[in-house]
């Protein structure tokens, strides 16, 4: 912001600005420590016994925890809930050292800003981390096998606009391109061999740091599942029924180890309703109402169906859009990139999908999720008074456009 024209355009003049990466990382580490420490406090407050170690299912009602010194603790229980999450998916032939060839974990703790950074994968994590280091001064190129940025599930119109904004910020993309391998040079730099996904001439890209971001996989190995007859599916996930029970009734699983998007808030909801189910309560989750967010600047957020999905399913729909360039708050903040796009059923006006590209999209999307959970029509939202001036007025206007065919302020 200071090196660009943002501050200058607001009359803020700064000279001699510099980055202290060590202090920035210390602030990040402090935040992480406070958050994880908060969980330990919640355990204590709610009388949850915390056993430190690697857990393994050793019976239908038994877990064995192995500590760092090799000692074991056997815990007998009525029910077992597996929530071991996911781990970084390795790239075949590329060895991660978390120093110059890094995963998303190592990319959060680099000792210095790389002069040139290549990111393998322009999905959610790739664009998030790529944009962080680009803003800190790195020249970033993201290589993506697919023909778009933002990963699976993103609306294509939003993806194209998102890519255009990131490119304007300085990120470079090589889409429809596959990585063949990476080689470390004697001078410490890394050569990355790539070619067009459809086949073609090889090309070599060079960087100081290579970030491998091709996704995550369920952490389900060595958990002792085979000892109780639980088999994984072809993607390493644990099959469960609609109550999150495995084939062993006393063993449950939630989060990244089961089907569905690998999102913390999805896992949190599953954990709550799974335990409520164990206690005899109702178990229900509508995955169509689970929002997704890409934490860049601007943010991208969506919930429900994309336009491509509705076309594929043959659902009649209407589209309502409203650009942030026509929104008062965005205009006064000089932060007008992006838009709100709403998809509604052509016959019933029920909201089918909401797609937001803009500052604060991750906050605004929750209004859409609430509306969809309650089966709201776009007219319902359009008739709710929204505070002025706020960026969420753009959400109301887009719903107005979807329902009535035209927004008021555009």
Structure-derived torsion over alpha carbons of residues 103, 105, 107, 109, reported in degrees to the nearest 10: -140
CA 175 – CA 246 distance, rounded (Å): 39
Q: Which residues have C-beta within 8 Å of that of residue 156, sequence separation ≥ 6?
A: 148, 306, 307, 308
Segment 200-205 long-range contacts (CB within 8 Å, at least 24 positions apart): 205/118, 205/141, 205/143, 205/174
Which residue among the candidates 50, 148, 284, 388 is catalytic per the annotation?
A: 388
As a whole number of Å, the CA-based R_g of the chain is 24
Contact in structure between 110 and 102 (CB atoms under 8 Å): yes
Of 222, 217, 220, 257, whose CA–CA distance to 56 is shortest? 222
| Element of type H or E holding 161 | helix 156-169
Q: What is the DSSP string of 177-204?
A: EEEEEEEE-TTS-EEEEEEETT----EE
Contact in structure between 401 and 407 (CB atoms under 8 Å): yes
CA 262 – CA 254 distance, rounded (Å): 11
CA 227 – CA 382 distance, rounded (Å): 55
Q: What is the DSSP string of 216-233?
A: EEE--TTSSGGGGT----
Backbone dihedral region of 188: left (phi > 0), alpha (psi from -120 to 50 degrees) or beta?
left
CA 138 – CA 383 distance, rounded (Å): 46
Let me know how long the chain is: 410
Contact in structure between 387 and 304 (CB atoms under 8 Å): no
Structure tokens, 7: 């501050």
Phi, psi of 157 (to 5 degrees): -65, -40
User: Is 297 known to be catalytic?
Assistant: no
Burial of 219 (0-12, 13-18, 19+ CB in 10 A): middle
CA 376 – CA 379 distance, rounded (Å): 8
CA 107 – CA 98 distance, rounded (Å): 8
Catalytic residues: 388
């Amino acid at each position: 912001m200071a090196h660009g024209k943002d501050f200058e355009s607001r009359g803020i003049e700064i000279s001699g600005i510099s980055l202290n990466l060590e202090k920035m990382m210390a602030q990040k580490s402090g935040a992480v420590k406070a958050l994880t420490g908060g969980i330990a406090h919640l355990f204590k407050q709610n009388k949850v016994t915390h056993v430190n170690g690697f857990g393994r299912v050793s019976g239908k009602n038994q877990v064995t925890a192995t500590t760092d010194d090799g000692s074991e603790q056997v815990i007998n229980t009525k029910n077992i809930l597996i929530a071991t999450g996911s781990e970084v998916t390795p790239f075949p032939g590329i060895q991660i050292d978390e120093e110059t060839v890094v995963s998303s974990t190592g990319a959060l703790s680099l000792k210095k800003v790389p002069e040139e950074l290549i990111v393998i994968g322009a999905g959610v994590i790739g664009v998030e981390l790529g944009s962080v280091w680009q803003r800190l001064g790195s020249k970033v190129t993201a290589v993506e096998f697919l023909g778009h940025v933002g990963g699976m599930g993103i609306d294509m119109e939003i993806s194209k606009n998102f890519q255009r904004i990131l490119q304007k910020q300085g990120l470079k993309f090589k889409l429809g391109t596959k990585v063949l391998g990476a080689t470390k040079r004697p001078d410490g730099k890394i050569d990355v061999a790539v070619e067009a996904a459809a086949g073609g001439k090889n090309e070599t890209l060079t960087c100081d740091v290579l970030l491998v971001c091709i996704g995550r996989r369920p952490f389900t190995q060595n958990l002792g599942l085979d000892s109780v007859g639980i088999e994984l599916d072809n993607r390493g996930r644990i099959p469960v029924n609609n109550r999150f029970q495995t084939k062993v009734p006393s063993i449950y699983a939630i989060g990244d180890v089961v089907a569905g998007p690998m999102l913390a808030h999805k896992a949190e909801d599953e954990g709550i309703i799974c335990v409520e189910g164990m206690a005899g309560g109702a178990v229900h989750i509508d995955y169509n109402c689970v929002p997704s967010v890409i934490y860049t600047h601007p943010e991208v957020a969506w919930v429900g169906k994309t336009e491509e999905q509705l076309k594929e399913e043959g659902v009649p729909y209407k589209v309502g859009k409203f650009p942030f360039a026509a929104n008062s708050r965005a205009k006064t903040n000089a932060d007008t990139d992006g838009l709100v796009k709403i998809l509604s059923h052509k016959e019933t006006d029920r909201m089918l999908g909401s797609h937001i590209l803009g500052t604060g999209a991750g906050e605004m999307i929750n209004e859409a999720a609430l509306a969809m959970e309650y089966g709201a029509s776009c007219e319902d939202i359009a008739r709710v008074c929204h505070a002025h001036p706020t960026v969420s007025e753009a959400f109301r206007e887009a719903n107005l456009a979807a329902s009535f065919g035209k927004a008021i302020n555009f």
